[in-house]
Amino acid sequence: MTRFPARNKVPELTVFASLLRMTTKYGFSDIREALVEDLKGAYPTKWEDFETAKVLGENVFGSPKPHPKAVLNLFLEQRIKFALPFAAYRAGLGGPTTHAVGKPGPVIPRPTLVYIIHGMGRIRAMLIFIVQRVAYTWDLGACPKSACILNVCKRSAKRKIEALDMISEVLQDNGGDMLSSLQLSDSFCADCAEQLKYINRECREKVVWAELPCLLGWKGWEGF
Amino acid sequence: MDQELRELHTSWLQLNDEEERNSVAEAIEDREGEEEAATEIPAEVETPVAFTPQDLPATLNITIPSPILQGTERSPVSHDVEPSPDAFANDRITTVSSPTLSISTISDLTPTEFDEGIGEGIPTRHETFYLEDGNVEIVCGQTIFRVHSTVVSFSSPNLRDMLSSPTLFNTPTPGGCPRIVFNDSAEDFAVLLKMIYTPGWVVSLQSGFCELTR
């Protein structure tokens, strides 16, 4: 008995790519449409679908797990429009250094790559701006509860600024993935954790998700 | 709180240089043009044109690797001199090429003679889809598939058109059946044949996707 039956059944990217190419070329349009439709679970175009998705991005393909850049290249080649913005975002998560010349792995076409590097930087800058304003405006570093890590009222101003910086960092760069939900440690009190999670959710949905396609060079969530 | 976030978002957008946003829009338009040109996918696969021997050019650019002729018993096309393209042309080697497909038949070579000299650069039989009772050979890159033309034709009109060329089944061929050269990669074509010959396979892939994502 296999431990992960579903994972073993899905095709690896090379097989999936062959299926797409051949079904397109030889007129198996119904099979192609069904295969593309199956991708929608992992490449959502709506925030509600993203929040409830069980598997995201390249994780939908079988082992060996493909590189996000290889998946993006396939979607560009096959013009799978709806999946392009999210695939571009996944390809950009590694940061600019992963796209450097000479790095092993797939190479993204230059125009798309420029948008990804530029767009990811802009999304991050936007998030930093908003999160810092929120953190300082709402005085999040002034929790009255002694058990909370944000209880810095009676401490020095320097400690308070450090706490605010920590909040900013937690909110703006959540493990490098600006769309992933916030994972907070127990050192925050329930009220502060709730407040931070609320800010995180709002920023992800109304800032990052809303601006993502445009900043990565697509017209909207339906691609180009 | 919603209102505050919205205002902050708006203010950030206002702070950003308007020109930068315009340049993004312009670049999107530029890229659209590039991508449309670069990723154009042909809507239909071209079908082979009807072939007649008089259509042959004066000289044929066909390269038959020499190992094919080495170590085999003397056959009607074995030459005492270095074989030249013209010599093969006289021996009724016919090729029709189109951007997407070419038909090739070598009339006087037996299958053994053709396939024995397997080595680098010579097509090899696909381990799964060289079906002994098949009636047409399809060459993709360096791999030969032997399949049933009726089964393959039934699955796709495009393939049916390709396999219904009148000259295809009239000419004696190495494997005792017509040989067609496709410009697909062997890996892609093997996946296509797996899809055609095992219809449940794609369904199982789709159910795997569903289990994983829903």
The CA distance from A17 to A72, in Å, is: 11
**Cα separation of A119 and B144, whole Å?**
46
Domain count, chain A: 2
Q: Which residue of A has its CA nearest to B36?
A: A79
Decide if pLDDT at A190 tops 60. yes
CA distance B127 to A101: 38
Please spell the DSSP secondary structure of B167-201, one letter per residue. Answer: TTTTS--TTSS-EEEESS-HHHHHHHHHHHH-HHH
The answer to whether A42 contacts B6, with C-beta atoms less than 8 Å apart, is no
- Cβ separation A54–B213 shorter than 8 A: yes
Distances (CA, A) of B57 to A200, B52, B128: 70, 11, 37
**B159 CB near a chain A CB, below 8 Å?**
yes
In a domain, A223, yes or no: no
- Is B214 domain-assigned? no
Q: Residue A217 and residue B155: Cβ atoms within 8 Å? A: no
Question: Would A122 be classed as within a structural domain?
Answer: yes
Confidence of residue A54 (pLDDT cuts 50, 70, 90): confident
Are the beta carbons of B32 and A19 separated by less than 8 Å? no
B211 in any annotated domain = no
pLDDT at residue B125 tops 80: yes
Boundaries of domain holding B184: 53-201
Pairing of strands B179-182, B143-147: unpaired
Q: Average pLDDT of A143-166?
A: 68
Distance separating alpha carbons of residues A66 and A59, to the nearest angstrom: 8
Residues A119 and A34 both lie in one domain: no
- A&B contacts, CB < 8 Å: 139
- For residue B31, the chain A residues in CB contact (below 8 A) are 111-112, 115, 217, 224
Closest CA to A156 of A169, A140, A171, A141: A141
Q: Tell me the pLDDT tens digit for each residue of B129-153.
A: 999 899 888 989 999 999 998 999 8
Contacts with A137 from chain B: Cβ below 8 Å: 4
Q: Produce one character per residue of B138-151: b if its CB has 16 or more CB atoms within 10 Å, e if not.
A: bbbeebbbbbebee
pLDDT at B60: 40
A134, A209: one domain:
yes
pLDDT value of position B76 = 36
What CA–CA distance (Å, rounded) separates A191 from A188?
A: 8
For chain B, the residue count is 214
Question: Do A60 and A129 fall within a single domain?
Answer: no
**Integer Cα distance of A163 and A152 in angstroms:** 8
A203/B5 touch (CB, cutoff 8 Å), yes or no: yes
| Co-location of A159 and A206 in the same domain | yes
The pTM score is 0.68
Interface of B with A in 77-136 (CB under 8 A): none
Q: Does residue A219 belong to any structural domain of this protein?
A: no
- B77 and B180, same domain (yes or no): yes
pLDDT for A75 equals 94
**Lowest-confidence range among A37-51, A61-75, A167-181, B134-148?**
A167-181
Same domain as A159, residue A98: no
For position A72, what pLDDT does the model report? 94
Same domain (yes/no): A124, A160: yes
Q: Based on the domain organization, do B120 and B186 belong to the same domain?
A: yes
Q: In chain B, positions 1-40, which contact chain A (CB-CB < 8 Å)?
A: 1-2, 4-6, 8-9, 12, 15, 24, 27-28, 30-32, 34-35, 38-39
Which chain B positions have a beta carbon within 8 Å of A78's beta carbon?
41
Tokens 């706490």, located at residue: A163
Tell me if A222 is assigned to some domain.
no
**Tell me, what's the pLDDT at A156?**
61
B78 and B168 co-located in one domain = yes
Of B1, B191, B212, the CB nearest to A22: B191
Q: Tell me: do A15 and A98 sit in the same domain.
A: yes
Q: Does A153 lie in the same domain as A206?
A: yes
Pick the closest to residue A172 from A194, A203, A202, A148 (CA basis).
A203
Choose the final residue of a domain: A108, A132, A165: A108
Choose one of A108, A141, A157: the last residue of a domain. Answer: A108
Domain-located, residue B209: no
Q: B24 and B108 share a domain?
A: no
Nearest-Cα residue of chain A relative to residue B30: A111
Question: What confidence tier does B170 reach under pLDDT thresholds 50, 70, 90?
Answer: low
Put simply, the answer to whether B9 touches A130 (Cβ < 8 Å) is yes
Amino acid at A67: H
Of the candidates A190, A207, A205, A115, the one whose C-alpha atom is nearest the C-alpha of residue A149 is A190
Domain membership of residue A173 (yes or no) is: yes
The pLDDT confidence band at residue A152, using thresholds 50, 70 and 90, is low
Residue scoring higher pLDDT (A208 or B23) = A208
Query: Is residue B98 in a domain?
Result: yes
Q: Do B188 and B107 reside in the same domain of the chain?
A: yes
CA B171 to chain centre: 22
When comparing pLDDT for B62 and A101, which is higher? A101
Look at the alpha carbons of A74, A77, A83, A84 in this order and tell me if their dihedral is positive or negative: positive
pLDDT tens-digit series, residues B110-120:
333 344 333 45
Whether residues A42 and B207 touch (CB distance < 8 A) is answered with: no
Does residue B206 lie within any of the structural domains? no
pLDDT at B35: 55
Q: Is the four-CA dihedral B51, B57, B58, B61 of positive or negative sign? A: negative
Higher-scoring residue by pLDDT: A5, A110? A110
Evaluate whether residue B116 is within a structural domain.
yes
Mode of pairing for the β-strands spanning B93-97 and B124-130: unpaired
Tell me the chain B residues in contact with residue A206 when contact means C-beta distances shorter than 8 Å: 5-6, 9
Q: Residue A22: its pLDDT value, please?
A: 94
A90 and A134 housed in the same domain: no
Of the candidates A19, A77, A215, which has its C-beta nearest B191's C-beta? A19
* Residues A52, B102: Cα–Cα separation, whole Å: 49
CA dist list (Å): B182 to A5, A33, A38, A47, B171: 36, 24, 29, 44, 18
* Same-domain status, B82 and B146: yes
- Identify whether residues B81 and B180 lie together within a single domain: yes
Residue type, A194: E
B9 and B80 inside one domain = no
- Name the DSSP letter for residue A55: S
B64 has a pLDDT exceeding 60: no
Predicted pLDDT at A129: 82
> Could you report the per-residue pLDDT of A66-95, keeping only the tens digit for each?
999 999 999 999 999 999 999 999 998 887
| Position with higher pLDDT, B93 vs B195 | B195
Boundary-marking domain end, from A87, A108, A129: A108
**Across A200-222, average pLDDT:** 85
Min mean pLDDT across A86-100, B39-53, B90-104 is at: B90-104
Question: Which range marks the domain in which residue A100 is found?
Answer: 5-108
**pLDDT grade for A6, boundaries at 50, 70 and 90:** low
Name the nearest CA neighbour of B97 among B56, B149, B42, B141.
Answer: B56
State the DSSP string of B2-57: HHHHHHHHHHHHHHS-HHHHHHHHHHHHHHHHHHHHHT---SSPPPPPP--GGGS-
| Predicted pLDDT at A101 | 73
Assess whether B29 and B105 both reside in one domain.
Answer: no
The residue that leads in pLDDT, B206 or B198, is B198
Does B170 share its domain with B112? yes
Spatial separation of the C-alpha atoms in residues B131 and B190, rounded to whole Å: 13
pLDDT at A17: 94
Nearest-CA distance from A159 to chain B in Å? 26
Tell whether B122 and B75 lie within a shared domain.
Answer: yes
Which of A19, A27, A111 lies at the smallest CB-CB distance from B34? Answer: A111
Give A81 to chain B, closest Cα distance, Å. Answer: 12
For residue B195, what are its two tokens? 């899809």
Q: Tell me: do A104 and A119 sit in the same domain.
A: no
Domain count for chain B: 2
CA separation for the pair A132, A171 (Å, rounded)? 9
A203 touches A131 (CB < 8 A):
yes
**Do residue A39 and residue A100 come from a single domain?**
yes
Strand B136-140 to strand B179-182: parallel, antiparallel, or no bridges (unpaired)? parallel
Q: Are residues A71 and A148 in the same domain?
A: no
Q: Which carries the bigger pLDDT value, residue A35 or residue A175?
A: A35
Classify residue B163 as exposed, middle or buried by CB count within 10 Å of its CB (0-12, 13-18, 19+): buried
In this structure, are B77 and B150 located in the same domain? yes
Query: Looking at residue B135, what is its pLDDT?
Result: 87
Query: Among residues A186, A191, A92, which one has the least CA distance to residue A138?
Result: A191
Q: How confident is the model at residue B191 (pLDDT cuts 50, 70, 90)?
A: very high
